Amino acid sequence: MKHHYCFSLFLILVMLELITISSVAYGQGNVLKKTLNSSSLHRPKASLSIDYYHRKCPDAEGIISQKVSAWIKKDPTLAPAIIRLHFHDCAVRGCDGSILLNHKGSERSAFESRTLKGFQLIDEIKSELERRCPETVSCADILTAAARDATILAGGPFWEVPFGRKDGRTSLAREASMVPHGHENITTLLEFLQGIGLDMLDLVALSGSHTVGRSTCHSFMDRLYNFNGTGKPDPSLNVNYLMLLRKRCKRESDLVYLDAITPRTFDTTYYTNLMRKVGLLSTDQSLYSDARTAPFVEAFATQPFLFRSQFAVSMVKLGNVGVLTGSTDKGEIRVNCNYVNGA
């Protein structure tokens, strides 16, 4: 009975988001709230659009997806890396390519960014696009499309990417620490996401990208021996999983799969893991122990279609966070993703 209620509620939420996505989700903010606020429907819409490059650079998406699949074929670890890089871009100053800037004191140079990868792939895509359509395709757009393509290659859903982001000119190392690092409680995560216009459903859906990729032991080491000063491991860790992790983590820099069961497949095993106390990060496991998010975990665990469609919707929302559009926004089309123009 309780399950029934959760699923129905959930279906309604998902359908509402799907229905409204094409008309109102291109700006930031809570889609549901926007849907219910009729006056907001008459406001001008943000200017990202799916056909933004159709005339300016018709082959842009094709070039990006070709490069992404060639590189991921050679190195499958790049798929999760690019998805994460896109998140870290959007989480700070919006999706403006700020994470790509490679100067002293930039986000990328911060301690918190040390395990980000995939920059060379973005650089190669950019130089090809500069040959084909000079000064036309922004680095922020390249990263957004590459994250979608990487998702598909890992077995995840497709979605149309709205384009037209400009690249920002500011990137500060200290702001890299704003991105959640795996030790937060759900309240803190929700507040962070609310700050960039995302909600609880987005949190649970987007965390599902931890169905692929790896984490350094540094990010969860505190759970293994002396959790929270108790002298004992985290009680929300399955005992066999705990033993495995202790074996795998000799050093803080050792890498462990975020999804222990199907580490390279974009599926819902991440969520079933949480229901068996096999979540790697404390923040992952909290999604199931917190009463606010647990119903969504259960729904995704049992309804792969719901996960795939909501993931697509939430990724479009993530890609819309704080975008610089138009000419008034102090954005530019960077010629080299590593440097602002004229630097």
Please say whether the beta carbons of 215 and 182 come within 8 A.
yes
Does residue number 206 form part of the binding site for ligand HEM (CB under 6 A)? Answer: yes
Which stretch in 24-32, 128-136, 202-210, 300-308 sits in contact with ligand HEM by CB under 6 A? 202-210
Does residue number 187 form part of the binding site for ligand NAG (CB under 6 A)? Answer: yes
Residue 290 is assigned to a ligand binding site: no
Residue 210 is assigned to a ligand binding site: yes
CA distance 86 to 82: 6
Of the two residues 8 and 253, which places its CB atom closer to ligand HEM in the complex? Answer: 253
Question: 147: which 2 tokens?
Answer: 């994250």
- Between the alpha carbon of residue 289 and those of residues 8, 166, 194, 240, 277, the distances in Å are 21, 39, 20, 19, 9
Please say whether the beta carbons of 80 and 209 come within 8 A.
yes
Residues 70-109 that bind ligand HEM (CB under 6 A): 80-81, 83-84, 87
Does residue number 197 form part of the binding site for ligand HEM (CB under 6 A)? Answer: no
Q: CB atoms < 10 A from the CB of 163, how many?
A: 25
Residue 89 is assigned to a ligand binding site: yes
Residue 267 is assigned to a ligand binding site: yes
Which stretch in 100-108, 204-212, 267-275, 329-337 sits in contact with ligand HEM by CB under 6 A? 204-212
Question: 244: which 2 tokens?
Answer: 């495995």
Q: Of the candidates 101, 106, 65, 173, which has an alpha carbon nearest to the alpha carbon of residue 336? A: 101
- Between the alpha carbon of residue 285 and those of residues 34, 123, 175, 188, 252, the distances in Å are 31, 35, 26, 15, 20
Does residue number 228 form part of the binding site for ligand NAG (CB under 6 A)? Answer: yes
Does residue number 188 form part of the binding site for ligand NAG (CB under 6 A)? Answer: yes
CA distance 194 to 175: 17
Catalytic residues: 88
Of the two residues 101 and 204, which places its CB atom closer to ligand HEM in the complex? Answer: 204
List residues binding ligand HEM (CB under 6 A): 80-81, 83-84, 87, 115, 117, 180-182, 189, 206-207, 209-210, 212-216, 218-219, 258, 281, 283
